[in-house]
Copies of this chain bind each other. A is one copy, B any other.
Amino acid sequence: MDKKPIGIFDSGVGGLTVFKEIRKRFPFEDIIYFGDTARVPYGPKSRNTVIDYSIQNARFLIQQGAKIIVIACNTSSATALIDLQKLLPVPVLGVIEPGALSAVKSSGNKHIGVIGTEGTIRSQAYSTAISKLDDSCIIFSKPCPLFVPLAEEGWEDHEVTQLTIKEYLTSLLHKDIDTLVLGCTHYPILKTSIQKFVGSKITLVDSAQAVTDKLDEILPNRETKEIGKDYFYVSDNEVKFKQIASKILDMEIDKLIKVKLGEGWFLK
């Protein structure tokens, strides 16, 4: 049984929804979480930048001993998964394919909506993954860039959030979708408001559960006398991270370490 930890990274706090699900399902594993809070958000950034950042984050987790990497960030999964799988000496899981599988299983009429950041939607990663599983599916995508700052502002059910949800999602409702993929780890924070707007006939797919199912397939579930340890690393804002984390995880974080990146711009 491999005592090395599971490594998870995200652009910030959103990936804690993935951490929470993995911790629940793998109580005896050690888990290292890295949140790149100094460079959040990844959504509006270019492909090459997201790949660079993802490589830096994953390498850091491997330096800390990770035996497997889970990319909790949808933008990063959509953009950097293949590069990481090629480059790294350990298995790498993204959230896109498990989310796509979950959506295909859930949909009856094969009309599936996907929402995410600009980067995730631009990459067409969900459309590609869903079509590979079932090419009869019709996919309707929509970037929702304001959902991340609204979730971070704590306006989960504010009038402004409801109006923004209406603005972004009305066009999807006209497409007769029966399943909507929440293609960003921040979006489950707005889940109640989104469900209220789209109605109970539309199933919301949350990738945290989907990726944990996938992890379950490849990682034999350890059972030891010792409960797994948690290690949290961030690149900025320890205090704010602890606050939001205690809200998402329903527990206090004792150990939180801040890491730093090397300095200096250079012309490419």
Is A249 positioned at the interface, with any CB of B under 8 Å from its CB?
no
- Copy total for this chain: 2
Contact B262 A264 (CB under 8 A): yes
Contact A56 B266 (CB under 8 A): no
Stretch at the interface among A24-32, A43-51, A105-113, A172-180: A43-51
Stretch at the interface among A75-83, A157-165, A184-192, A204-212: A157-165
Contact A44 B265 (CB under 8 A): no
Contact A262 B259 (CB under 8 A): no
Contact A38 B44 (CB under 8 A): no
How many angstroms from the CA of A164 to the CA of B146 in the assembled complex? Answer: 12
Q: How many residues of A contact B (CB 8 A)?
A: 42
Which chain B residue shows the least CB distance to A167?
B160
How many angstroms from the CA of A52 to the CA of B235 in the assembled complex? Answer: 12
Is A263 positioned at the interface, with any CB of B under 8 Å from its CB?
yes
Which chain B residue shows the least CB distance to A257?
B267
Is A260 positioned at the interface, with any CB of B under 8 Å from its CB?
yes
Contact A163 B153 (CB under 8 A): no
Contact B267 A261 (CB under 8 A): no
Is A59 positioned at the interface, with any CB of B under 8 Å from its CB?
yes
